[in-house]
Amino acid sequence: MSYPKDMARTTVADTELSSSLRISVMRLARRLRAERSSEDLTLTQLSALSMLARHGPSTPTELAAHERVQPPSMTRVIAALEVKALVSRVAHPTDRRQVLVAATDRALAMLLEDRRRREAWLVARLALLSPQERAVLESAATILDRLASS
């Protein structure tokens, strides 16, 4: 599959839907980010912390690969998070040459509060919609998840 071939098969309606969907998703994402806590974290730092919270301790190399950044960049991210006491380094259980990076209790609490704030904002907005609109969004959420996974 190449970009020119893909573009040749798209219709005007597909292009318009793509543009509309991209703009709407970006606006929603921006609005949800505005509900984050006051912690001064970059999106990369927040993403790395979220990955550690979901998947547990990880080597810096594994974390860099998961976040799709170069290891030196992840080293800087980890250092900044360490200064803020949001990650700690622990010995690797089987390889003494490596360390694992883990989210601290403070980081987990911050992420939980972030999620709570954003969920509360979204729940309040969803309450303003009709049952039919909420049903459409429920279906759309499944489709959007499938689009993001492919």
User: pTM score, two decimals?
Assistant: 0.74
Domains of the chain as residue ranges with CATH: 35-149 (1.10.10.10)
Q: Which of 106, 67, 101, 111 is nearest to 86 (CA)?
A: 106
Write down the pLDDT at residue 1.
Answer: 45
- Cα 52 to Cα 111: distance, rounded to the nearest angstrom: 11
CA angle 131, 36, 40 (to 5 degrees): 170
Q: From CA 133, how far away is CA 126, in angstroms rounded? A: 9
pLDDT of residue 3: 55
Parts of the chain with a pLDDT under 50: 1
pLDDT value of position 125: 96
Phi-psi region of 4 (alpha: psi -120 to 50; beta: other; left: phi over 0): alpha
Instruction: Output the pLDDT for position 43.
Output: 86
